[in-house]
Amino acid sequence: MHQLVLASESPRRKQLLKDAGFQFETLSMKVSEIPGKNLTVDAKILANAKEKSESAWTRLKSTKNSPFVLLTADTEVVLNDELLGKPADIKAAIQMISQLSGNIHQVKTGLWLRESPSGKEVSHIETTIIHFKKLDSKTIEDYASSREGLDKAGAYAIQGQASQFVEKIVGNYDNVVGLPVQALKKILNDQGWIIEKA
Protein backbone atom coordinates (compact mmCIF):
# COMPACT_ATOMS: atom_id res chain seq x y z
CA MET A 1 0.00 0.00 0.00
CA HIS A 2 1.39 3.37 -1.04
CA GLN A 3 0.59 6.90 -0.07
CA LEU A 4 0.06 9.27 -3.00
CA VAL A 5 1.91 12.58 -2.82
CA LEU A 6 0.89 15.33 -5.23
CA ALA A 7 3.64 17.93 -5.69
CA SER A 8 1.50 20.74 -7.10
CA GLU A 9 -0.11 23.98 -5.97
CA SER A 10 -2.97 23.61 -8.47
CA PRO A 11 -6.39 23.60 -6.76
CA ARG A 12 -7.80 21.98 -9.92
CA ARG A 13 -5.48 18.96 -9.69
CA LYS A 14 -6.34 18.54 -6.01
CA GLN A 15 -10.07 18.64 -6.81
CA LEU A 16 -9.76 16.11 -9.64
CA LEU A 17 -7.93 13.67 -7.36
CA LYS A 18 -10.50 14.17 -4.59
CA ASP A 19 -13.37 13.63 -7.03
CA ALA A 20 -11.70 10.39 -8.18
CA GLY A 21 -11.66 9.11 -4.58
CA PHE A 22 -7.91 9.35 -3.94
CA GLN A 23 -6.46 10.04 -0.53
CA PHE A 24 -3.28 12.06 -0.94
CA GLU A 25 -0.86 14.47 0.61
CA THR A 26 0.20 17.67 -1.12
CA LEU A 27 3.60 19.23 -1.33
CA SER A 28 3.86 22.88 -2.32
CA MET A 29 6.79 23.80 -4.47
CA LYS A 30 7.92 26.30 -7.05
CA VAL A 31 10.06 25.24 -9.99
CA SER A 32 10.93 27.53 -12.89
CA GLU A 33 9.31 26.06 -15.99
CA ILE A 34 11.86 27.04 -18.64
CA PRO A 35 12.33 23.98 -20.85
CA GLY A 36 15.26 23.41 -23.18
CA LYS A 37 15.01 25.09 -26.57
CA ASN A 38 15.94 22.13 -28.75
CA LEU A 39 13.40 19.68 -27.33
CA THR A 40 10.15 18.59 -28.99
CA VAL A 41 6.90 19.88 -27.45
CA ASP A 42 6.25 16.58 -25.63
CA ALA A 43 9.85 16.42 -24.38
CA LYS A 44 9.63 20.00 -23.03
CA ILE A 45 6.46 19.18 -21.09
CA LEU A 46 7.92 15.97 -19.67
CA ALA A 47 11.14 17.82 -18.78
CA ASN A 48 9.08 20.29 -16.71
CA ALA A 49 7.23 17.45 -14.94
CA LYS A 50 10.51 15.61 -14.29
CA GLU A 51 12.19 18.71 -12.87
CA LYS A 52 9.30 19.13 -10.42
CA SER A 53 9.62 15.45 -9.51
CA GLU A 54 13.35 15.67 -8.81
CA SER A 55 12.91 18.72 -6.61
CA ALA A 56 10.07 17.11 -4.61
CA TRP A 57 11.81 13.71 -4.39
CA THR A 58 14.83 15.21 -2.65
CA ARG A 59 12.58 16.75 0.01
CA LEU A 60 10.41 13.67 0.51
CA LYS A 61 13.18 11.08 0.74
CA SER A 62 14.55 12.76 3.86
CA THR A 63 11.19 12.99 5.63
CA LYS A 64 9.09 9.93 4.65
CA ASN A 65 9.79 6.35 5.74
CA SER A 66 6.69 4.58 4.42
CA PRO A 67 6.16 3.68 0.71
CA PHE A 68 4.77 6.46 -1.46
CA VAL A 69 4.16 7.40 -5.08
CA LEU A 70 5.13 10.94 -6.03
CA LEU A 71 2.99 12.56 -8.73
CA THR A 72 4.03 15.68 -10.64
CA ALA A 73 2.45 17.11 -13.77
CA ASP A 74 2.80 19.90 -16.29
CA THR A 75 -0.16 21.03 -18.41
CA GLU A 76 0.43 23.19 -21.48
CA VAL A 77 -1.66 24.67 -24.28
CA VAL A 78 -0.02 24.06 -27.66
CA LEU A 79 -0.82 26.00 -30.81
CA ASN A 80 1.13 25.30 -34.01
CA ASP A 81 3.82 23.44 -32.02
CA GLU A 82 4.34 26.41 -29.68
CA LEU A 83 3.72 26.33 -25.91
CA LEU A 84 1.53 29.29 -24.98
CA GLY A 85 2.26 29.13 -21.24
CA LYS A 86 0.54 31.34 -18.66
CA PRO A 87 -0.15 34.98 -19.54
CA ALA A 88 1.87 37.62 -17.69
CA ASP A 89 -1.07 40.06 -17.61
CA ILE A 90 -4.45 40.90 -19.15
CA LYS A 91 -2.84 42.22 -22.32
CA ALA A 92 -1.00 38.91 -22.82
CA ALA A 93 -4.23 37.01 -22.08
CA ILE A 94 -6.05 38.97 -24.81
CA GLN A 95 -3.27 38.11 -27.24
CA MET A 96 -3.38 34.38 -26.39
CA ILE A 97 -7.16 34.03 -26.62
CA SER A 98 -7.09 35.94 -29.91
CA GLN A 99 -4.61 33.36 -31.22
CA LEU A 100 -6.86 30.48 -30.09
CA SER A 101 -10.03 32.08 -31.49
CA GLY A 102 -11.37 30.10 -34.47
CA ASN A 103 -8.47 27.64 -34.29
CA ILE A 104 -7.76 24.09 -33.17
CA HIS A 105 -5.21 23.64 -30.40
CA GLN A 106 -3.94 20.89 -28.15
CA VAL A 107 -3.83 20.63 -24.39
CA LYS A 108 -1.06 18.34 -23.23
CA THR A 109 -0.31 17.10 -19.72
CA GLY A 110 2.94 15.38 -18.85
CA LEU A 111 2.62 13.03 -15.88
CA TRP A 112 5.69 11.94 -13.93
CA LEU A 113 5.35 9.25 -11.25
CA ARG A 114 8.13 8.03 -8.99
CA GLU A 115 7.78 5.20 -6.50
CA SER A 116 9.48 4.84 -3.15
CA PRO A 117 11.42 2.89 -2.09
CA SER A 118 12.50 1.60 -5.55
CA GLY A 119 12.85 5.03 -7.22
CA LYS A 120 11.19 3.63 -10.36
CA GLU A 121 9.89 6.38 -12.66
CA VAL A 122 7.03 6.25 -15.17
CA SER A 123 6.02 9.09 -17.47
CA HIS A 124 3.06 9.71 -19.77
CA ILE A 125 1.82 12.42 -22.13
CA GLU A 126 -1.94 12.90 -22.56
CA THR A 127 -3.19 15.01 -25.48
CA THR A 128 -6.67 16.51 -25.89
CA ILE A 129 -7.69 18.46 -29.01
CA ILE A 130 -9.83 21.58 -28.56
CA HIS A 131 -11.78 23.40 -31.28
CA PHE A 132 -12.36 27.06 -30.32
CA LYS A 133 -15.21 29.12 -31.74
CA LYS A 134 -14.44 32.34 -33.57
CA LEU A 135 -14.68 35.05 -30.89
CA ASP A 136 -15.24 38.77 -31.36
CA SER A 137 -12.81 41.23 -29.77
CA LYS A 138 -15.25 42.39 -27.07
CA THR A 139 -15.84 38.81 -25.88
CA ILE A 140 -12.06 38.25 -25.74
CA GLU A 141 -11.39 41.49 -23.85
CA ASP A 142 -14.25 40.92 -21.38
CA TYR A 143 -13.03 37.40 -20.63
CA ALA A 144 -9.39 38.43 -20.21
CA SER A 145 -10.50 41.28 -17.91
CA SER A 146 -12.37 38.79 -15.69
CA ARG A 147 -8.87 37.46 -14.77
CA GLU A 148 -10.20 33.89 -14.69
CA GLY A 149 -7.48 32.63 -17.00
CA LEU A 150 -4.49 34.58 -15.69
CA ASP A 151 -2.98 31.64 -13.77
CA LYS A 152 -3.71 29.08 -16.47
CA ALA A 153 -1.86 27.86 -19.56
CA GLY A 154 -3.39 29.38 -22.68
CA ALA A 155 -5.15 32.06 -20.59
CA TYR A 156 -8.44 30.20 -20.17
CA ALA A 157 -10.26 27.84 -17.79
CA ILE A 158 -12.37 25.24 -19.60
CA GLN A 159 -14.27 24.50 -16.37
CA GLY A 160 -15.21 28.18 -16.01
CA GLN A 161 -16.66 30.87 -18.26
CA ALA A 162 -14.44 29.78 -21.16
CA SER A 163 -16.50 26.59 -21.57
CA GLN A 164 -18.72 28.67 -23.89
CA PHE A 165 -15.76 29.22 -26.26
CA VAL A 166 -15.32 25.50 -26.93
CA GLU A 167 -16.95 24.07 -30.03
CA LYS A 168 -15.62 20.52 -29.72
CA ILE A 169 -13.34 18.40 -27.49
CA VAL A 170 -11.54 15.32 -28.81
CA GLY A 171 -10.04 13.36 -25.93
CA ASN A 172 -10.05 13.57 -22.16
CA TYR A 173 -11.77 16.55 -20.49
CA ASP A 174 -9.97 16.14 -17.11
CA ASN A 175 -6.70 16.54 -18.98
CA VAL A 176 -7.72 20.07 -20.04
CA VAL A 177 -8.56 20.94 -16.42
CA GLY A 178 -5.07 19.79 -15.42
CA LEU A 179 -4.86 16.05 -14.69
CA PRO A 180 -5.82 13.04 -16.87
CA VAL A 181 -7.23 10.89 -14.07
CA GLN A 182 -7.92 7.81 -16.23
CA ALA A 183 -4.32 7.78 -17.47
CA LEU A 184 -3.09 8.09 -13.87
CA LYS A 185 -5.27 5.16 -12.75
CA LYS A 186 -3.98 3.03 -15.62
CA ILE A 187 -0.33 3.71 -14.74
CA LEU A 188 -0.93 2.86 -11.07
CA ASN A 189 -2.76 -0.31 -12.06
CA ASP A 190 -0.14 -1.39 -14.63
CA GLN A 191 2.66 -0.90 -12.09
CA GLY A 192 0.73 -2.62 -9.27
CA TRP A 193 1.04 0.47 -7.08
CA ILE A 194 -1.97 0.37 -4.73
CA ILE A 195 -2.87 3.78 -3.34
CA GLU A 196 -4.66 4.38 -0.05
CA LYS A 197 -8.28 5.33 -0.72
CA ALA A 198 -10.16 8.18 0.93
Looking at the domain assignment, is residue 196 inside a domain?
Answer: no
Q: Taking a C-beta distance cutoff of 8 angstroms, is the pair 49, 123 a contact? A: yes
- Which of 74, 136, 151, 174 is labelled catalytic? 74
Q: What is the mean pLDDT of residues 38-54?
A: 91
Looking at the domain assignment, is residue 92 inside a domain?
Answer: yes
Q: Print the domain residue range for 157.
A: 3-191
Length of the chain: 198
> Given pLDDT bands bounded at 50, 70 and 90, which one contains residue 29?
confident
> Given pLDDT bands bounded at 50, 70 and 90, which one contains residue 34?
low
> Given pLDDT bands bounded at 50, 70 and 90, which one contains residue 10?
confident
- What total of structural domains would you count in the chain? 1
Looking at the domain assignment, is residue 139 inside a domain?
Answer: yes
Q: How far apart are CA 99 and CA 130, in angstroms?
A: 13
Q: Taking a C-beta distance cutoff of 8 angstroms, is the pair 98, 65 a contact? A: no
186 has a pLDDT exceeding 80: yes
Looking at the domain assignment, is residue 198 inside a domain?
Answer: no
**pLDDT at residue number 41:** 92
> Is 174 labeled as catalytic in the residue annotation?
no
State the CATH number of the domain containing residue 102.
Answer: 3.90.950.10
Q: What is the mean pLDDT of residues 23-48?
A: 82
Q: Taking a C-beta distance cutoff of 8 angstroms, is the pair 4, 195 a contact? A: yes
109-128: pLDDT as tens digits: 999 999 999 999 999 999 99
Q: What is the mean pLDDT of residues 118-145?
A: 96
78 has a pLDDT exceeding 90: yes
36 has a pLDDT exceeding 80: no
Looking at the domain assignment, is residue 197 inside a domain?
Answer: no
35 has a pLDDT exceeding 60: no
Q: What is the mean pLDDT of residues 163-179?
A: 95
Q: What are phi and psi of 63, to 5 degrees?
A: -120, -20
98 has a pLDDT exceeding 70: yes
Give the chain's mean pLDDT: 92
Residue 73: which of 97, 107, 104, 100 has the closest Cα? 107
Q: What is the mean pLDDT of residues 136-141?
A: 96
Residue 146 CA neighbour count, 13 Å, CB half: 13
**Which of 12 and 37 is assigned the larger pLDDT?**
12
